[in-house]
């Protein structure tokens, strides 16, 4: 079933990926492109939060690039030139695929009442650029800061008016968070109902594991890098409630992290429902 705009998922889904998944590549073009593919997977499967974890096997440069690419892609194409200054780390951003989120207006439709879009605050009087010929005026906003990107709902077309959208029932994209060490990651995981480590050494998905996932209102998924599972990267200091093998009988010696991410999210999208 295809539903547009896409509904907000019924549970919060957080994905934690070590930044060393970029460090295995030499070419900065390829690093940028791979980071963009992660963003696409997160958006396709309506992930709520992405955590870039600076694990011991990554570099500061690759960790920074991972964060910047995932954040940059959340900005609608119609705002990027205005909202994002030139950045050497993003010099290959032209290679990135579009996210085509509903909040990016990928169909290039004229504003309609009820539309939800990202907009750039132009001034302290509440004028917001939503990618149309004229800005909308933000009404009933307590405080706005020029240069910030806000999620807004169109409330009137003539005149063009909008309001801040704080409880949208559509999926508008993921948020990006960083964890600089195992301590900061442990604090992030405190808010998760269930923390699942993905590993070929884990128990099969089904029975008890699936029942616990279905009962969780917030689910955190831990992924490793091409050399190590997540628990091997951080040791015993990070909470893990379940270790699950989502790809039994894999036909290759190793499964790349991006392949594992897409596989796990696709499986959960079907088994856990909307």
Asked if the model's pLDDT at residue 98 lies above 90, the reply is yes
Residue 237 confidence (pLDDT) = 79
Per residue in 3-40, pLDDT (tens digit) is: 999 999 999 999 999 999 999 899 999 999 999 999 99
Phi, psi of 66 (to 5 degrees): -55, -50
Mean pLDDT across the stretch 53-69?
96
pLDDT class of 144 with cuts at 50, 70, 90: confident
Say whether 103 sits in a helix, a strand or coil: helix
Q: Are 261 and 224 in contact (CB under 8 A)?
A: no
Per-residue pLDDT, averaged over 95-123, amounts to: 95
Please enumerate in sequence order all residues whose Cβ is within 8 A of that of 170, keeping only pairs 6 or more positions apart, or say none: 5, 6, 7, 8, 102, 103, 116
Q: Is the whole-model pTM more than 0.85?
A: yes
Tell me, what's the pLDDT at 166? 85
Looking at the domain 12-74+176-271, which fold is it?
Alpha/beta knot (3.40.1280)
The pLDDT of residue 121 is: 95
Find, among 44, 38, 39, 163, the residue nearest to 102 by Cα. Answer: 44
Contact (CB, 8 A) for 210 and 273: no
pLDDT band at residue 160 under the 50/70/90 scheme: very high
The domains of the chain are located at 12-74+176-271, 105-164
**pLDDT value, residue 35:** 98
The hierarchical CATH code for the domain 105-164 is 2.40.50.140
């Amino acid at each position: 079933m295809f539903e547009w705009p896409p509904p907000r998922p019924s549970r919060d889904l957080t994905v934690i990926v070590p930044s060393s998944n970029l460090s295995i590549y030499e070419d900065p073009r390829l690093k940028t492109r791979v980071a963009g593919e992660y963003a696409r997977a997160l958006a396709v499967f309506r992930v709520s939060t992405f955590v870039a974890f600076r694990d011991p096997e990554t570099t500061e440069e690759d960790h920074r690039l991972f964060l910047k690419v995932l954040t940059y892609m959340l900005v609608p194409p119609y705002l990027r030139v205005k909202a994002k200054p030139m950045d050497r780390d993003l010099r290959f951003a032209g290679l990135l695929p579009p996210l085509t989120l509903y909040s990016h207006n990928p169909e290039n439709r004229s504003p309609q009442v009820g539309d939800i879009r990202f907009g750039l605050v132009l001034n302290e009087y509440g004028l917001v650029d939503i990618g149309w010929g004229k800005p909308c005026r933000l009404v009933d906003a307590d405080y706005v800061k020029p240069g910030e990107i806000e999620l807004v709902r169109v409330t009137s077309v003539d005149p063009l008016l909008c309001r801040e959208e704080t409880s949208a029932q559509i999926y508008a994209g993921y948020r990006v968070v960083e964890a600089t060490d195992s301590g900061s990651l442990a604090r992030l995981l405190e808010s998760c109902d269930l923390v699942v480590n993905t590993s070929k050494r884990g128990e099969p998905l089904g029975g008890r594991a699936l029942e616990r996932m279905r009962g969780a209102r917030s689910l955190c998924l831990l992924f490793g890098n091409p050399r190590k599972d997540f628990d091997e990267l951080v040791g015993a200091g990070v909470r893990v409630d379940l270790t699950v093998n989502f790809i039994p009988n894999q036909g290759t010696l190793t499964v790349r992290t991006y392949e594992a991410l897409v596989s796990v999210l696709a499986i959960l999208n079907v088994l856990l429902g909307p």
